[in-house]
Structure 1
Amino acid sequence: MELKNIEKQEKSIVALTVEISAEEIEAAKEKAYKKNGKKITVPGFRKGKAPRKLIESLYGDGVFFEDALNICYPEVYEKAIAEAKIEPIAQADVEIQDMTDAGSVVLLCKVPVEPEVTLGEYKGIEAERAEVKVMAADVKAELERMAQRFARTETVERAAKKNDTVHIDFEGFLDGVAFEGGKGENHPLKLGSGTFIPGFEDQLIGCKAGDEKDVVVTFPEDYTAEDLAGKEAVFKCKVLSVQETITPAIDDEFAKDVSETAETLADLKKEVKERLTNAKNAEADREFEQNIIDKVVEGMQADIPDAMIEQQIDTIIRDFEYRLQMQRMNLEGYLKATGTDMATFRGMFREQAEKQVKGRLALKKVAELENIEITDEMLEDEFKKLAERYGMEIDQVKKAMPAEALMADLKIDRAIEVLRTNAKAVKKAEKEEASDKE
């Protein structure tokens, strides 16, 4: 193997021109013959016993060429990137550039590598941070949500009202014919929840247990099932029961029930306000950090290869698939239900992936410029924390997460800390006022 040329191209592609000698190709052809020649039948010979030269005379000199190239390529490629001193971030795009009369083969390998990154000023950045305020109305709303979580239902004999839950049997019909997927039995439906087709729930208000009702609705034009979209349907419903939601009074007794420390409603309000304040501050800090990173990215120069974006899209989709599985769904079913093809689906995440890739590249460069290092002790301590967090043995954590990956994440975390420590938080109003003055 001879590395004949190295050329840097756009989008952080390094083009390697590699020549595989005739001797290497010949040796690989012999290996290919020994591996695959057994499958070839030649008249006059038992299967797999025909000489290589006879097979090549019958089927052409190139009969073993593709297999030979596949045999020798991995080793040739590894030697080429080692000699070029580059680290691929994805598979190379390979093409045959020339086949010489002497029998050698010249390959052009376009190898995507991590881009060279140049940053602008990354210390002393002014970034927007939301001012955190928790109002009495916020505390009240949270207390009401807590009360809803402790609510109970009670079967009543009266007519159903909004916010009641009715249990119904129903079946849907189009022009008098029942349609697939339009039937349910003993289905709980909270009136006013908006979970059914618009207008459906309102027509059940006033019904009592035992009542039968024809509910007439029109499916939305953008309904997921195209055969139903925009069509009028009649649902024959029977109300089996009506249940009222009874929410506990928000008082001192409620405070004692929902809190381990509160003795009075005033105590609970104080706890809730503190919890909301902490949550809002945490969210404000996350947004502040992202705003800082966005500012650093604005001043960054990097010719990012498409492969990095595609890999990040793959990561996002894997996470999406995992969340679907938690809901007992799969990606194929989701795409079918939403009428989306894979190319369009991937395109939906491109902007997000680009932002994530740029942010991580910027932070890696900050870590490099700041000479951030992670010691073995720091790494081991982080493994212990992860083991405690997930209730796993430390050896299990180490198998699940390679040390190199964790070390890279820790460097990113410390780079963010450097940016945050040296940044100046600016309120939105202050920024707008400064802009007006300019």
Structure 2
Amino acid sequence: MKVTSVEKKEKSTVELTIQVEADAFEAAVQKAYEKERKNIGVPGFRKGKAPRKIIEGMYGTGVFYEEAINQVYPGAYAQAVEEQKLDDVGYPKIEIVEVGKDGLTFKALVSVRPEVKLGTYKGLTASKDVAKVTDKDVDEELKPYIDRATRLVSVDRAAQNGDTVVIDFEGFDNGEAFDGGKGENYDLKLGAGMFVPGFEEQLVGAKAGEEKDLDITFPEDYHPGLAGKAVVFHVKVKEVKEPQAPVVDDEFAKDVSEFETMDAFRKSLAEKIADRRSKQADADFENQVLEQLIENMECEIPDGMVDVQLDRLMEDYAMRLQSQGISMEDYQKMMGVNGDIVRESARPSALRQVQMQLALTAVADAENIEVTDEEVQAEIDRLAKQYNIDVEQVKAAVPVEDLKKDLRLRKASDLVIAEAKVGKAKKKAAAKKTEKAEGTEGEEKPKRTRKKKTEETEEPKAE
């Protein structure tokens, strides 16, 4: 392997021209022949037994080039990156320049870790909400407790919206009962919109013991067979029930909580609301500060770096779906989307994560932040406790170096937030210079495009 040229390109990329010598490429072609010959039929020879020259004579001497390139270029690329001391952070774009008996020459566009120019990262200001709690807020917090304690009580009057009617019903299409249109002792809450339009409305005013025919037209987007059809539902109202809320007093507080009085219960609910809003305000404040950190830095992020992070996000998403018993393919079918749409919808998140990692790494470098072995061990212990697993299982699942990187970034984040102040966010005079990922330019996998025609008639195809 020999690197014949190194050229810096835009957006933190470097283009290497790499040459694989004739003998090394010939060895790769021989391996490709040994791997592929079993799949090639040649008249007069048993499958897998035809000599290489016979196969090349029939299909062209380039018949094994694609497989040979696939075998040889990853190692050559890795060796070239190491030789040039490049910090490769993304998938390379591979372009074949020349291939033949004299060897292989290809170009590799390498995504390298970008240089980060930090702006202001200490003393940033951001707004922060005060966690105020009103009586109305407490009433809303109390509502689920009241709803759970509310009982349905039979009443002798005409049904109203909000009541529940117990009904028997059967649907008829031109006098013929249709499948799925029958029910008995069905509890239907009027106004809930659970049945087709017009059904519940026509039962307002009905009394227990009354029978009614309801004229209903199914929506055009209803399931086939009934969509758009005018039908009749014969309904018998068997009972009318109204919701009866409990008396919200000290006895109610005792029933639904550990408190003896309603005042004490309401005070507890107010404290919970305040705590929740305070935590949300802290989170919003921190997010604003870290967004400013990103906005203040100058950095050209290569598309390949975003693509790598995007793959990690998609792998994590697929694992979370799988933990719920859903495959990514099934999820896409349920949502009516394809894999490209799901992937591209996650690109902004991947970009932001890369920006955050670069910014916080730069802060950690500027502040000479280090992580001790004791801090790493404490984090391992914390994870073991959180997931209720052994310490050794944590060590096996998460490499120590990854833990160190995460802790270092966390310490950098804590430093930036600790130095921040509550106030009006300062506007940045210059336009934001952090490079955005553009559409789908980043390649998901190494790809090859032919530049020069080879000396053979059979050309390797792009993966």
TM-score by length of 1: 0.81
What's 1:436 paired with?
Answer: none
Deviation at 1:174, TM superposition (A): 8.9
Paired with 1:317 and 1:217, the residues of 2 have a C-alpha distance of: 44
Instruction: For residue 378 of structure 1, report the CA deviation from its aligned partner.
Output: 1.4
Q: Given that residues 3 and 80 in structure 2 are in contact (C-alpha distance below 8 angstroms), is that contact kept between their aligned partners in structure 1? A: yes
Higher helix share: 1
Point out the more displaced range, 56-65 or 22-31: 56-65
Partner of 1:281: 278
Q: Does the CA-based 8 Å contact 2:91-2:308 persist in structure 1? A: no
Which residue type is aligned with residue 368 of structure 1?
A: D
Q: Which residue of 2 aligns with 1:404?
A: 401
In the alignment of these two chains, the number of paired residues is: 425
**Deviation (angstroms), 1:25:** 0.8
User: In the aligned structure 1, how far is the partner of 2:321 from the partner of 2:234?
Assistant: 32
Name the CA distance, whole Å, in 2 between partners of 1:359 and 1:92: 23
Letter in 2 for 1:305: P
Measured after TM superposition, the shift of residue 290 of structure 1 is: 0.7
Identity of paired residues, percent? 43
Task: Determine helix, strand or coil for the equivalent of 2:147.
Answer: helix
Most deviating of 306-315 and 137-146: 306-315
Query: In structure 2, what is the equivalent of residue 364 of structure 1?
Result: 361
Q: Which amino acid aligns with 2:42?
A: V
Q: Quote the residue 1:82 is aligned against.
A: 82
Q: Which residue of 2 aligns with 1:25?
A: 25
Indicate the SS of the match to 2:64: helix
Instruction: Name 2:129's counterpart in structure 1.
Output: 130
My pick for the range that moved more, 246-255 or 193-202, is 193-202
Aligned partner of 1:2 in structure 2 is 2
The equivalent of 2:54 in structure 1 is 54
Q: Which residue of 1 aligns with 2:414?
A: 417
* Residues 52-88 of structure 1 deviation map (CA, whole Å, 9 limit, x = unaligned): 2233223221122222222222322221222122343
Residues 1:218 and 1:14: Cα distance change in structure 2 (over 3 Å) = farther
Identify the residue that residue 65 of structure 1 maps to in structure 2: 65
Residue number in structure 2 paired with 1:270: 267
Partner of 2:383: 386
SS in 2 for 1:414: helix
Higher-RCO chain (CA-CA 8 Å, sequence separation at least 6): 2
* 1:300 and 2:297 aligned: yes
Looking at structure 1, the residues matched to 322 and 181 of structure 2 have their Cα atoms a distance apart, in angstroms, of 25
Q: Identify which range, 208-217 or 85-94, moves more after superposition.
A: 208-217
Give, as a single letter, the amino acid of the residue that structure 2 aligns with 1:99: V
Task: State which drifts further: 83-92 or 233-242.
Answer: 233-242
Two-structure CA RMSD over aligned residues (Å): 3.9
Deviation at 1:129, TM superposition (A): 1.0
CA distance in 1, matches of 2:194, 2:47: 68
Output the CA distance in 2 between the equivalents of 1:12 and 1:328. Answer: 41
- Give 5+ residue unaligned stretches, structure 1: 433-438
- Equivalent residue number for residue 191 of structure 1: 190
Aligned-pair CA distance for 1:165: 4.0
1:120 offset after TM fit, Å?
0.6
TM-score in terms of structure 2 length: 0.77
How far apart are the structure 1 equivalents of 2:350 and 2:174?
48
Please list the CA deviations of residues 167-219 of structure 1 after superposition, one character each: whole Å capped at 9, or x if unmatched. 66777889999999888777655433455566554444334566455263674
How many Å separate the matches in 2 of 1:23 and 1:237?
A: 87
Indicate the SS of the match to 1:61: coil
Q: Does 2:109 align with 1:110?
A: yes
Counterpart residue number, 2:439: none
1:256 to 2:236 alignment: no
Letter in 2 for 1:59: Y
What is the match of residue 247 of structure 1? 245
